[in-house]
Amino acid sequence: MDSPELATMPLPVLEPIKGVKKAPLEEYFTSGHRTCQGCESALVMKLMIKAAGPRTVVLGSTGCMYVANTTYYSTPWVVPWMHTQLGSSGSAAVGTAAGYRALMRKGKIKKEPINVISFCGDIGGADMGLSAISAALQHVDYNHLILLYDNESAANTDIQATGSTPYGAVTTFSPTGPAKRIFHTRWKKNTAAMLAAGHPECRYVATVCASYAVDFMNRVRRALTIGGPTFIHSFDPCPKGWDYDPMLSHELGELAVLTGIWPLFEVEDHTLRLYGKSKAIAEGRQKRLPVRDYLLKQGRFAHFTEDDIDYFQAKIDDMWTQWLIPGVLPFAAEVLNDTPPA
């Protein structure tokens, strides 16, 4: 029944953007939202849809980018936008793409490329919605992009710890106090690499940081044009949750990359590439900055002792010197730094 011609859905043409001056001028995420001053995730939304263009529908799971963006009677979205449940970004992508595919295959709507982007926060995507995202990345018939904007907390519900909150960070569920200096003892999940390693048929997985806007937009374009399900994990400084001056959002994104805490990489058709400053770090052209430079700019780490900073540094050092694939896959020949300071 499914002739190969009927079964393949057309893909969009989105050329790589060659420099910030060549970026499209049109905005599809505009005024009408009420995110915090300095909210990097709002910039992520803006760049994501600028890169994708008008023939796109966006689905967003519960979180800041739902609640702070779309308050009824106003919407920043010029393209169609639909809410989905907290753990449903994977299912929303699959359902939407499957609906279009069925209708196009059966000739019920015009056959044309439609970009389906489904975004989620870190607790929505990397914790609650992980199984649905995993399943979505297996359904290779459906073209869509799942974008996880990671502000390292359940920000919308008042900054609670998640599986993506960094070790030791203060949140409203992990305060610091005389009996417990370090409340949140989990090490941040390595979500993008886990999804890339675990879903070999998924053709594109990338980490991004909006401090590098052109790199960011081009990763979105690659994800949308390659075909099948794809995944992008974005690192999003959050002034409210991380407790810093809003003007530092951009700088903190850069620092996370330059300290090696947030490696930028992409896995395209089984080929792994570190890119940008992370590539320079891996190739020894860029010296990693000390994590202290990053941590101490944020109130959420203000309680850290020298031992805590050393522990954090040692874990990051391991990541670059001991991991079989530096910055990406944590397999190593021997057990590394497994005892946090008392």
Partner 1 sequence: MDAETATAVTVAAAEQEALISGSEAVAVASRLADVDVITAYPIRPYDTMMQYVAKQIANGEQDAEYIVAESEHSQFEIAKHASAVGARALCGSSGVGWCYAFEAIAVTPALRLPLLAMVGNRALDDPGAFGTEHNDALAARDLGWMHVWVDTAQEALDVTLIAYRVAEDRRVFLPCAISTDGAFLTHSQALVKIPPRAWVDEFLPRYDRGDLRFHPDNPITIAPQVNEDWLMEIRRQTDQAMRNARGVLEEAYRDFRRIFNRDYGNPFFEEYYTDDAEIVLVGMGTLSMPVKVVIRKLRAEGQRVGFVRVRWFRPFDYERLGGLLSRFQAVGVVDRDFSMGSPYNSGVLANEIRATLYGQPKQPPVVSFITGLGGREVTIPNVREMFEHTRKAAETGASPRDTLWIGVRA
Ligand X SMILES: Cc1ncc(C[n+]2csc(CCOP(=O)(O)OP(=O)(O)O)c2C)c(N)n1
Q: In whole angstroms, what is the distance from residue 243 CA to residue 251 CA?
A: 14
Distances (CA, A) of 55 to 27, 29, 70, 113: 13, 14, 20, 8
Q: Is 147 in the site for ligand X (CB under 6 A)?
A: no
Q: Is 253 in the site for Mg ion (CB under 5 A)?
A: no
* 206 contacts 222 by C-beta, under 8 angstroms: yes
Nearer to partner 1, 227 or 340 (CB): 227
Please give the residues from 102 up to 121 whose contact with Mg ion meets the rule CB under 5 A.
121
Nearer to partner 1, 99 or 200 (CB): 99
- Taking CB under 8 A as the binding criterion, the range among 69-77, 173-181, 214-222, 260-268 that sits at the site for partner 1 is 69-77
Tokens of 339: 């005892």
* 20 contacts 211 by C-beta, under 8 angstroms: no
Q: In whole angstroms, what is the distance from residue 108 CA to residue 125 CA?
A: 32
332 contact, one of ligand X, ligand SF4, partner 1, none, CB 5-8 Å limit per kind: none
Nearer to Mg ion, 122 or 254 (CB): 122
Residues in touch with ligand SF4 (CB under 6 A):
35-36, 39, 41, 64, 68, 151, 155, 238-241
Q: Is 236 in the site for Mg ion (CB under 5 A)?
A: no
62 contact, one of Mg ion, ligand SF4, ligand X, none, CB 5-8 Å limit per kind: ligand X
Q: Is 66 in the site for partner 1 (CB under 8 A)?
A: yes
Q: Which amino acid is at 111?
A: K
Q: Is 248 in the site for partner 1 (CB under 8 A)?
A: no
User: In which residue are the tokens 């939407």 written?
Assistant: 96
* 299 contacts 244 by C-beta, under 8 angstroms: yes
Taking the complex as a whole, the smallest distance from the CB of residue 210 to Mg ion amounts, in Å, to 15
Please give the residues from 150 up to 209 whose contact with Mg ion meets the rule CB under 5 A.
151, 155
Bridge partners, 154 (sequence order) = 160
Q: Is 122 in the site for ligand X (CB under 6 A)?
A: yes
Taking the complex as a whole, the smallest distance from the CB of residue 156 to ligand SF4 amounts, in Å, to 6
> β-strand 56-61 against 229-235: which pairing, if any?
unpaired
Taking the complex as a whole, the smallest distance from the CB of residue 258 to ligand X amounts, in Å, to 24
Dihedral over Cα of 239, 243, 246, 251: its sign: negative
Minimal CB distance residue for ligand X: 121
Q: Which of 17, 44, 51, 65 binds ligand X (CB under 6 A)?
A: 65
105: enclosing H helix or E strand: helix 89-105
Q: In whole angstroms, what is the distance from residue 280 CA to residue 209 CA?
A: 16
101 contact, one of ligand SF4, partner 1, Mg ion, none, CB 5-8 Å limit per kind: partner 1
Please give the residues from 70 up to 109 whose contact with ligand X meets the rule CB under 6 A.
86
57: enclosing H helix or E strand: strand 56-61
Q: Is 132 in the site for ligand X (CB under 6 A)?
A: no
* 322 contacts 264 by C-beta, under 8 angstroms: no
112 backbone dihedrals φ, ψ, rounded to 5°: -160, 160
- Taking CB under 6 A as the binding criterion, the range among 74-82, 88-96, 101-109, 153-161 that sits at the site for ligand X is 153-161
Q: Is 121 in the site for ligand X (CB under 6 A)?
A: yes
* 229 contacts 144 by C-beta, under 8 angstroms: yes
Per CB under 5 A, residues contacting Mg ion are 121-122, 151, 155
Residues that bind ligand X (CB under 6 A): 62-65, 86, 120-124, 151, 153-157, 162
